[in-house]
A and B are shown apart, each in its own frame.
Chain A
Amino acid sequence: ETGVTQSPTHLIKTRGQQVTLRCSSQSGHNTVSWYQQALGQGPQFIFQYYREEENGRGNFPPRFSGLQFPNYSSELNVNALLLGDSALYLCASPGPPELFFGEGSRLTVL
């Protein structure tokens, strides 16, 4: 299996703050995607990066932004945090199997 590592595993922020979540893949694959999973719901696609450029985006506002670095590690940045941003944020990389998720970063916004 392809190892996908995310950090931090848990964090607490206050409304209005900014947060940066990080992801790295052992496979060094050139594609990475991010998903938001609110409690009790299925993951929702945020965006995907291919070779350091965003090449797909779900229904999320611009305050959700990302970066992919030359070593194919990735960041998810969220500005002006809202209570509704509280969720598990999952990074995913092509496997095998086809899409392999990391363990996620659980963000709580107070």
Chain B
Amino acid sequence: GENVEQHPSTLSVQEGDSAVIKCTYSDSASNYFPWYKQELGKRPQLIIDIRSNVGEKKDQRIAVTLNKTAKHFSLHITETQPEDSAVYFCAASRQAGNMLTFGGGTRLMVKP
């Protein structure tokens, strides 16, 4: 089955700096790669996703890049703000919304 590795497990940045979280996956048939943000005691919420026919996608301060050959994808957050502090999860699946395999999570702390 699919295996998703995520690094780093914790990340501390100063407000205004950029943050990068990286994930690798094992199943070459995976085609859908979402990123979820989970605040303490809350449900995971989708922040951005990318499909395998696209190499990069951007939404305001958030961008995701995908390298299918190397089987890795990354989340980039620019101009970080204290409200970006949360746990971020990457995931992969063969079909959007179906049977996601999640990474272990990255706890992002943005210091004011």
Chain A interfacial positions (CB closer than 8 Å to B): 31, 33, 35, 40-45, 48, 56, 58-59, 90, 94-95, 97-104
3 cross-chain pairs, A with B, having the tightest CB-CB distances, nearest first: A42-B102, A98-B97, A101-B43
Given A59-B1, A97-B49, A45–B100 Cβ distance below 8 Å?
A: yes
- Extra A-B contacts (17), CB below 8 Å, given A42-B103, A44-B102, A98-B97: A31-B97, A35-B100, A42-B104, A43-B44, A45-B99, A45-B101, A56-B99, A59-B1, A95-B46, A97-B46, A98-B32, A98-B34, A99-B100, A101-B43, A101-B44, A103-B42, A103-B43
Minimum C-beta distance from A21 to chain B (A):
14
Which residues B28-83 have CB closer than 8 A to chain A? 32, 34, 42-46, 49
Task: Name the one of B32, B46, B100 contacting A43, with C-beta atoms under 8 angstroms.
Answer: B100
Chain B count of residues within 8 A CB distance of the other chain: 23
Q: Is the CB of A99 within 8 A of B43?
A: no
Q: Does B25 contact A (CB under 8 A)?
A: no
Complexed CA–CA distance, A43 and B100 (Å): 9
Please, which residues of chain B bring their CB within 8 A of the CB of A56?
A: 98-99
Rounded to whole angstroms, the CA-CA distance of A56 and B94 in the bound complex is 12
